[in-house]
Amino acid sequence: MSKPTPQEALVYLMVIMSASDRDMGDEELARIGAIVRTLPVFDGFDQSRTLAVAQECQQLLQKEAGLGGALTLIKAALSDELRETAYALAVDIAAADLSVRDEETRVLDLVRDRFDIDPLAVAAIERAAAIRHRTA
């Protein structure tokens, strides 16, 4: 599989987060769609390809290298700044159903470590997500 574009890599990571607890819920899938439609990082990305890119990610995960190989590929496709963006998107997907499960926490830990995200950025990203996803 060829190196994904930065936008494809971001979709890959959101799909990985959504599937990490083996339950790709409607809330998470809707959030992925909303992110792709609205965030500036996806300007110029063909939104109709989102499902195909998600399927590419699933195929990538089934290869021998699995999750580790996918994360390596994603990291290589992203600049340092976009790695922080990727982590923020992953946190948003994990929080979309208002509950972050242990499996999702483990994947977030892997992403944070593999992508060398600054601990202060991690704290800010996670705090902002918790605030955005509060219920009344």
Per the model's pLDDT, the better-predicted residue between 23 and 45 turns out to be 45
Write down the mean pLDDT value for the chain.
Answer: 89
CA dihedral 34, 40, 42, 47 (to 10 degrees): 50
**Domains, the chain, with CATH or none:** 6-132 (1.10.3680)
Cα 14 from Cα 70, distance rounded (Å)? 12
For the stretch 74-132, pLDDT in tens is: 999 999 999 999 999 999 988 887 777 888 899 999 999 999 999 999 999 999 988 88
Q: Residue 121: what pLDDT?
A: 96
* Cα-only R_g, the chain: 14
Find which of 16-25, 31-40, 99-108 is predicted with most confidence, using mean pLDDT.
31-40
Judged by average pLDDT, the poorest of 1-10, 61-70, 97-106, 107-116 is 97-106
Q: Residue 77: what pLDDT?
A: 96
Phi-psi region at 98: left, alpha or beta (left = phi > 0; alpha = psi -120 to 50)? left
pTM of the model as a whole: 0.91
